[in-house]
Amino acid sequence: MTEADDDTRNRRLEKLRFWRRACADQGAKWKCYNDNGADIPLIFFHGDTDMGGLYVRRLAAECGYPIAALAPRSIEEPGLRPCVEALGKDMVEDILAFRPSGPYRLGGYCNGAIIAYECARRLRERGHEVEVVVMIEPASLNTRPVFRAVQQLIAAMLPPPEARSLKAQQRFGDVMHVVWNIGRLLHLSPRELLGLVRYLGHRRMMWRGHLVAGEQEALDQERQVRETDAAFKTFHWRSVSTYLPLPTQIPIVALSTGMDGGGRRCGMYDGVQWARVAANFRHIRLRGHHATCLSTHVGELASDLKSILRGLPPGKTEPPAQRLARQQGDFTILALGKAPGP
């Protein structure tokens, strides 16, 4: 077995251990780290499934800053809708119960970053001060003009969100997820696209190859993890795929690699695109890719996060001249200040 195979297996076992602990500790809505009673805690939406949010513990240890991690909603909750707006509305109540008054600092990883953005917007609407939203590897297709136009066109053919049935919302999510994946594939070169097809085929063959006598019990347990993980991912992809972020004046800091979990350049995680909807915006380029920025490069990510929260110049941002000149899509990202409209 190669080192890569060992790493893959270890991640699957880590996921299995996480779900076992989650089942035994269902009442743990908040996990608090480094609480010192003085600093404003970073309310963090981990939103991750591959590592079950376990990276937050390491990130908090490396960063040394108070972090209060809010667990994702259980997909088994009755009446739960795959809709970022609905999730944000509910989770704002959790935030206010945990910390009744601001100022607030919010953050999140992947789909958790999207929920952090929506919660921050709702807190601001209710008159609370939000100092910053830190978005780590946020999905970015939601901010692109073509995606927004398609979303608005399909949404116009459906009932308003508050009157929309659960089934209609699920189907809306499925359709927009297809649009999302098309947008993702369009950013891959032919070589990268061929590599992705080979990777998916190899992963399927590896799974079939594991179905041998003597491993069946472990595989049954792993299959349960995969099914739970797949259901969780489906719920959140449906939620994020239908989300249309509204413009905001809240300070936004996006940290992204521009790479997917396989190390391929991917417009889905190009966080600079959030400048389209955030007037007060900063972007920091992370090393690694969507997964390794939390593992191999977690120390550098923690350093950037600490610098942001302590109000110091971040250590990994690009030089101002380079950042001002770099082109992304059809507009130039500004180092600071006013960004183009959505």
Q: Is the pLDDT of residue 48 over 50?
A: yes
Residue 168's SS3 state is helix
The candidate with the shortest Cα–Cα distance to 316, out of 339, 298, 332, 292, is 298
Instruction: Note the pLDDT of residue 322.
Output: 38
At position 161, the amino acid (one-letter code) is: P
Which has the higher per-residue pLDDT, 328 or 193? 193
- What is the CATH architecture of 25-332? 3-Layer(aba) Sandwich (3.40)
Q: Directed axis angle between helix 216-241 and helix 111-125, to 10°?
A: 40
Look up residue 253 and give its two tokens.
Answer: 């800091």
User: Which H or E element spans position 321?
Assistant: helix 320-325
Q: Is the pLDDT of residue 20 over 70?
A: no
- Lowest mean pLDDT across 173-177, 215-219, 262-266: 215-219
Instruction: Note the pLDDT of residue 201.
Output: 65
pLDDT digits (tens, 9 = 90+) for 168-216: 888 988 888 888 777 777 766 677 667 666 766 665 665 555 544 445 5
Query: Average per-residue pLDDT in the chain?
Result: 76
Q: Is the pLDDT of residue 301 over 80?
A: yes
Q: Which pLDDT band holds residue 251 (cuts at 50, 70, 90)? A: very high
pLDDT digits (tens, 9 = 90+) for 105-132: 999 998 899 999 999 999 999 999 999 9
Distance CA 249, CA 120 (A): 11
Which has the higher per-residue pLDDT, 100 or 237? 100
Q: Is the pLDDT of residue 93 over 80?
A: yes
Distance CA 62, CA 57 (A): 9
The residues, ordered by sequence, that sit 6+ positions from 202 with a Cβ below 8 Å of its Cβ are none
| pTM reported for the whole predicted model | 0.78
Instruction: Note the pLDDT of residue 214.
Output: 47
Mean pLDDT to the nearest integer, 143-163: 87
Mean pLDDT to the nearest integer, 84-95: 91
Q: Is the pLDDT of residue 44 over 90?
A: yes
Mean pLDDT to the nearest integer, 293-299: 87
The residues, ordered by sequence, that sit 6+ positions from 299 with a Cβ below 8 Å of its Cβ are 62
Strand partners, 167: none
